[in-house]
Structures are given as C-alpha cells and as structure tokens.
Amino acid sequence: MSDVRYWMLVKRNLHLTSSKMFRNSKIGSFVSKASQTFFGKKMIIAKTSKDLDRMREVGELIAEVRETLRKMVVPGITTLELNETAEKMMHEAGAVPTFMGYKPSGMTPFPFAICASVNEQIVHGFSNSTPLKEGDIISLDMAATYNGFVGDTATTVAVGKVSDELEQLIRVTEECLKLGIEQCYPNKRVGDISWAVQQHADKYGYGIVRDYTGHGIGRTMHEAPQIANYGRAGTKEKIRAGYCFAIEPMLNLGTRETKTLADKWTVITADGKPSAHCEHTVAVTAEGPEILTLTKEQKTRLKNEKTESVTA
Ligand code: MG
C-alpha cells in the first residue's frame, strides 16, 4: 500500500505548514519535528539478519498470493472473489492481511484484504461484485503480516486483451520498478531510486503520481523513508545495508493529478484516464538489492538465470 505524501499528512492534520515562514520559525520547527516523531517518519530502521529472514518469509508468502490472484484475472471475475481468495490464503498461511482494518489518522479502517483498483483507479480501490471486462486493467495491492513482519506487493494485470497503449503503460511501470530496485545499493541515496523511476516514466510522458509514495517497511507497513517516484539523483537519505523498502511506481496515462472518492479511500486520476501500479518489498544487502516479494518458483528461476549468466 502506498504511503500518503508526508507533507499532505502534515497539512491535513495541522493545517499550518503551508507557510514557509511558519516552518522556519521556532514554534514551526518544533511542530514540524514533533509531527515527524508522531508520524514515525524520521528514523530508518536497519534490519538484523534474523529480521531479514522473517522479511523473506513474509515476502514469499505474499508473493504466492499475488501470483495466484494474477492467474485468476479473467473477464467475468469480480474483485470481491479476488479479495476473498487473498484473505483465505493469508489466513491459511497463518498470516494477517495487513490492509484489513488499517486506519491512518483521520481515516475510516480499510475494509478489505487487498486494494483492487480498476482502470482510472490508482490505488486503494474497494472490492465489489462488478465483473471485470475484457480490456480493463486492474491493480492488485496486498500485504501480509507474519511473525511480526510485513511484506507489501502490487501488480497491474490486463483483463483479457487490452489496448497497446495500456499494455505499454503496464510494461513501463514494471520497468520503472526494476530500475528503482537496481538503485538499492549501500551508499546510494533514496533520491537515486526516485530519479531512476522518473527518468524512465518521463520518456513516455506518463503522469507520475506525486501524492502517494513508496516507503520503508519492516515490523510495520509504513516506516521511514518515503520513496517518491520522482526526484533528483544523489539527494535524500543515504541507503545502508539492512534497510527494507517498498518501491511502488504509480503511473498515469494522462495527468499526474489525483482525486479521492467519497469512500475516502479510492484514489482515481483527475482526468479519468487509466493508471498502473506495481510494487516489490526489497532488502538492501551488502551485495545490492534482494527482492523479497518473489515466489519460491520465481526465486529459483532468478537463481538459475544468474548461474547461467555466470557460466556462459
Ligand atoms: Mg506499499
């Protein structure tokens, strides 16, 4: 699940920070610091090797759910059916669906195990009984908590045959995710991830969603840092081994501007054009990125590919 931009949260809760003068004043700086502490946005928590083992477990668990749902997406299926399968799989694995009942300050609890966002819905869509149609695209976002750690992942799936422009939107969103992940080396910066995503999305003129971001992840779903999908290389926090990130580009065919529906959760594009979203939970190791949200089969395939490239 994407994190709402910190400045939006602060603005919504304090209605004060729009003034630069205020932020720079003594009381403003205190309020800003206090709110950062309050929202737990400040400290990036490096994971121990034991923590990482648990992150791997929950990552694989939620990846299995994601791949099961991907295969289920055909014209005629409803998002409620997908939600039910996800919830059942997580419970059977002894995990808790992290989204269900998730309640940021000032919000109503999220009522489903997955976010199912169809076409112009960007993120946080509600499941319902409307069958998906040939030509739709659906973003499925899900997270599980298991043994005290959270794995968060998302994918956008074509329903049957979709237009070339939608196929490209999905492909480029996945490429942006891959490019972002490739920046996850110790001593690089969070801004390098943001830049890698942005420079690729910009080539296609897509609207890069700014109101929601990727995030650190661990014992809770949203930890520091925020990982925007736009930004400058070499800026923001230094990346260190042990950090875990949920990287999640959200790209729109049209404008980057967003609107929220009356349910207060579902985020749609302001111009009604389609949007794609994909996400992996990634650990930074001394050797570079390790994608945690892969299935057993995907991990084996990746390992074999690496071995082949070394021996070739
Ligand atoms: Mg997320």
Spatial CB neighbours of 149, under 8 Å, sequence gap ≥ 6:
51, 54, 55, 57, 58, 218, 219
Cα(277) to centroid(ligand 1), Å: 10
DSSP string covering 237-306: SBP-TT-EEEE--EEESS-S-EEE-TTSS-EEETT---EEE-BEEEEEETTEEEE-S--HHHHHHHHHHH
Q: What is the pTM of this model?
A: 0.90
- CATH number given to 48-311: 3.90.230.10
- 55-89 pLDDT, tens digit per residue, is 999 999 999 999 999 999 999 999 999 999 999 99
CA 159 to CA 272: how far, in whole Å? 18
Residue spans per domain, the chain: 1-43, 48-311
- 142-200 pLDDT, tens digit per residue, is 999 999 999 999 999 999 999 999 999 999 999 999 999 999 999 999 999 999 999 99
Cα(234) to centroid(ligand 1), Å: 23
Cα(137) to centroid(ligand 1), Å: 19
Cα(74) to centroid(ligand 1), Å: 25
Cα(15) to centroid(ligand 1), Å: 26
